[in-house]
Every structure is written in structure tokens, then in C-alpha cells.
Chain A
């Protein structure tokens, strides 16, 4: 057996992850053709590279099919209830920064806080006969955040992409999504509520608490931890 390390299988997140490990003397690389999701690890023994969609890494960690995984804190918190009991964050990796935020149309000059949003939602429901729609893919995080803040009369509508466009397309009145610079929000005439920051996320190396480790695996993990 070897320790399986799950890494995002494409894009900047994969490149940055490879760079981060390289800086610690661990060389990760893809093997075979561009389309084949196979990889190799040099510079440390006993670790096997598994390339996965970033969104699946929380589930694979939780199932114990991988021991280590690189993914965003946002995805871990959204997908794993009582996440602290399921995974252990080993290292924050200093890239992939993203804030989960709540945004409304910039033209809503009367709405700047959650308090305003709640009041606007009550009036909206009375006027339109349905609850104010918030488009997001982070259902659990948003619901918990709004429950904690005591916001009512909203509904979550699922949006797996291009969420910033939902308001203009009349499928939502507000959005909850991750943003790094806010460019896309501004381009879509949206603004972030002043108390609408739900979570600050970055790429993080997690260890599954659900894997039974052999002595050899334990030794491998210790060698890895010493390098971090």
C-alpha cells in the first residue's frame, strides 16, 4: 500500500499545486498523454498521485479512498458536515484564494447589510408572491450563514456556473458565490454586502481521518510532514 494524494486534475490549481510540492522537494507530474489522468511522484517514497476533479476531492477524502488531498476550504465545508471530524487541514498552501460572498445588484442603493437584505426580502415576497431568490452552488454554507444572521423569506436556487449572470437573466435576485478580485461582480452590476463575507477560502492540503494507515504509510506521512 502507498499513501494516495489527490490533486486537482487540470488548470491553474494543478499547476500551482505541482509548484508548491516542488518547492518542498517533491516532484509531481502527469504521465502519458495530455488526456490521460495518470501521474508520478519523485523525491519521496510511498506516495501515489491521483488526479481528480477538485470538486470530488472532499468526497474522496471522506470515503477514505485518498489519504491526502488538495482542495479549497470552501468545498470541504460545503460538502462535509462536521468536517473537523472527517479531515485534518495540514497546510494552507497560499494560493487559490477565494471569498464566498453574498452580492446584490449595485442598483439596490437601499441594501448594504444583511439587515437590509432581510427587510427587502420581506417586501419582495409581499410584492411578487414568491421568496427572494439567491443563486448559488454553496447551499449548505449559505443557508447556515443566513440562519445565523436571521434572514428570512429567501430561497436558494441552484446555479453551478455563470452565477453572476442569473440576476440579469431574471432567475435570481441575488447571488452567493466565490470571488477573488470582484471583477466579474462589477462587470455584472453586482455589489458585495458590507457584512456579506461568509468564508475566506484557499487551497489547503487535507488529511483524511477515515483511512486506516499501515506502519509504512504512517512513516511516509511523517517524512512528508517533516518536509512541509
Chain B
């Protein structure tokens, strides 16, 4: 196993490499206010981050990653365009797998730029791939933006689109909703009874709690509207399924996506963006033929990414965590920007695993 000092030395080398690309070095506090993380990720973050507290500042978390504080710092005072790099430890609570590290070093490279999205994605990918180039590492790419485009292009109610969009990163719930909206699963009997009732509130009994009768009535109205809306045609659901199962090298994936876009024109812009990314990769000397593409990649593990996503895995160690990962997170900057937003793409490497892989190879 590599020593901590070897890992830190490698981290410093990686960070110097990113600075040479024009990135400004940033430091962020280890303790982060829990509220912002909870608002963003919900209660699930408690399973993955260490929570601590004091009577003055309330709940704090040991930083589970750098992205959030870097975005916050940029939105508060950053110039545009901007490139940042950082190196330091992150902390991940482990509840299920005692072999996973609960504390490890990350080195990151993040780009905030309103222009040339495909070029910036290629830049970030190339920056992170370069230090790994002589190692047995496999890269996988994905694109959450394709599914988001398909959802926002559905010919159905805004409420349904919002519900699907909210669950893009929870594939099981997404599937349940899609099947329901397509009429593929029966309405729960309790809901059918509710909608069949002339006065559903008649036997409601006493009202307690903060959620008032007006909110209950509003939701019943939403359910009634949903019951009357036409189902999403089965053919469209099949196309979304076809989209989600694309697994090819990038050029073949593009051909496949173009086929799907003929019948699902709402994804055309996103597919054009994908094509531009291929060109941008070639322009920086990365052959898209060597890169795998999986349309559902990043839907469960990389939650705030909403476009291009990628990960590097050790070929001979499929059970290891990723050596590096990243992607586009435009929506995150909007969520944290108090009304402002800026397109952003970035990623991290784990020098500890990189060193370990080098040792294993010798």
C-alpha cells in the first residue's frame, strides 16, 4: 500500500499539472454547513457524510467533496471564465462496506465557462486522463442530458414531466412513474377509490399538522387532472428504453442515438451536443473509438451531474472505487447561485488509488 506521504506527493504533482493548464488553486474548509448539503442532496447525504455539530454553528459536515464549496466560492466572487484546482482529503461515512475508505485524498479540476461546452468537456476529460495514460484504466462516458431532453420533450402534462425530472437520479422511482404515466401499471386501488369518491374529504376526520386541507385538496385536483390526461404512448416509452440501453463505443453510440432521434426528435439538440463532443475529443488527441459510452451511466452514483459524465476504473480491479470521475453540473450552479447560473464541468482523481495501481503494476 502506498504511504500517505507518497499519496500527498502525487497529489501535489497532479495539482501542479492542473495549475500548468491555467487553473487557480483554491482551498476550502473541511467543515461545511450541513444545511446546504442537505438541501441539495436530501437526507441520503447523512448516510455518506460525517455529521458533527456545535451549539453555535449547528450541524456541520466533514466535506464529502470539494464541488459544493468550490461552486459556492465561484458564485460569490468568481471571474469568468474560471479554472480551479484543489487537493485535499474528503470524508465518506461507510455503513455497508468496511473495505471502502472513509477518508481519502482528491485532486480536482473545474472549469466555469459559458462558451464552447463540448471543448470544455474535452478539456476536463483530457486533463484527468493524461496522468493515467500508461495505466490499465478503462474510461466510461455517459450523458444525463439525453434523458433530460427526452423527458422535457414528452407530449404530456407539465406535472408529469416535473415528476420524472425530479427522479432522473432515482432510476427505480423514475421507472415506476413512467410505467404509471404510460398506463402500463394499474392505478393503486386506494387512488382509484379516492378519485371515485364525490367528497373525498368527508371522512377525513380531524386535521392535524402543518399540511393543511387546502394542500390535500390541491393534490387531489392534481391527481384528477393526471387521471384525465392521456397516457404517454407505449412507443415513446420504448424509445426512452432504447435510449437508456445504448452501450457502445462513442462513434457507434452516436449512430445509434441518431437512429433513435429520428423517432424521438426532442433529443436532437442533445445528440448534436454529443456529436460536437466527439469532434472536441478528437481535436485534443483523444480517440473516441477508445471510449465506452453507456446512456444510463451516472444515474445512480453521480447525482448532481446533468450532462456529460465520465469515470475511470481500474481494469483488473472491478471492485475498486473509481480512480477518477466527473461531469457537467450546470444545474448545481443554478441551485447555489441565488438566481445566477454558469455552465460548469469538472472532475476529480484519487491519487491514493492511482499510486496503488502503479504499485500493483510493478
CB within 8 Å of B: which residues of A?
81-82, 105-110, 112-113, 115-116, 118-120, 122-124, 127-128, 131-132, 139-140, 143-144, 146-156, 167-168, 170, 172-173, 188-189, 194
Contacts and interface: CB of A to CB of B under 8 A. Distances in A.
A110 B223 contact: yes
A152 B215 contact: no
A173 B42 contact: no
Contact of B194 (A82, A106, A110, A173): A110
B258 interface: no
B209 interface: yes
A110 B219 contact: yes
Interface stretch (B82-90, B165-173, B306-314): B165-173
A145 to B, nearest CB: 11
B209 A170 contact: yes
Contacts of B203: 109
Nearest to B212: A127
Contact of A120 (B47, B98, B206, B219): B219
B96 interface: yes
A168 B210 CA distance: 8
A140 B42 contact: no
Nearest to B162: A122
13 contacts: A81-B95, A82-B96, A82-B98, A105-B208, A105-B209, A107-B206, A109-B203, A110-B194, A110-B200, A119-B163, A122-B163, A149-B173, A194-B190
A152 B166 contact: yes
A118 B44 CA distance: 14
Contacts of A146: 43
B298 to A, nearest CB: 17
B204 A109 contact: yes
Nearest to A113: B188
A156 B96 CA distance: 20
A167 B208 contact: yes
B201 A112 contact: no
Given A112-B188, A112-B191, A113-B188, A119 B208 contact: no
A131 B215 CA distance: 15
B236 to A, nearest CB: 21
B176 interface: yes
A170 B210 contact: yes
A131 B219 CA distance: 17
Interface string B172-212: 11101000000000001011001000001101111111110
Across chains A and B, which 10 residue pairs bring their CB atoms closest together, nearest first? A150-B173, A112-B190, A150-B170, A107-B204, A167-B209, A110-B219, A81-B95, A168-B208, A107-B207, A109-B200
